[in-house]
Amino acid sequence: MRRLLTPGMLARHALAIVLVGGFLWLGWWQISRASAGNTLSWAYAFEWPIFAAFVVVIWFREVRYALRAGGDPEAEPATPDEPEPAERPATAPGIRRPIRVERRPAVPATAAAPDAELDAYNHYLAWLNANPDARASDYPGPGR
């Protein structure tokens, strides 16, 4: 529980309270404007409480992460009344190591047959690269 009372977490708690209170107040303000005849305010009246719910979800995730047993042991030293934290796993919770996959060529070298159309297109691209000021209609054709 001491992890929830660090200066950083206290700032997060205060920020969450201010944001949720502000968003709910803005939603109530939009309801009063909407009831006065501003129809666009009805959309905002539903939007601000959704923002408040989003802040609550993010705050809950932060609290849950802080209380997780595999949290960062360097962030707060263990006190005598608390048990030593377990050894940290190699990766953070929810993050997995990449899987190594053997790369193979898409087309085997034995199956690659010469393609006249591809060779002509590559010749055209090489000609365009060699003649940057030329127009496409100036291309003399393949093999020239």
DSSP 107: S
- Alpha-carbon gap, residue 31 to 23, rounded angstroms: 12
Domain limits, the chain = 2-67
Residues in the chain: 144
pLDDT in tens, 34-45: 998 888 888 889
**Average pLDDT across the chain, whole number:** 80
- Alpha-carbon gap, residue 25 to 46, rounded angstroms: 12
pLDDT in tens, 108-143: 656 666 788 888 888 899 998 998 888 888 888 876
Give the pLDDT band (50/70/90) at residue 8: confident
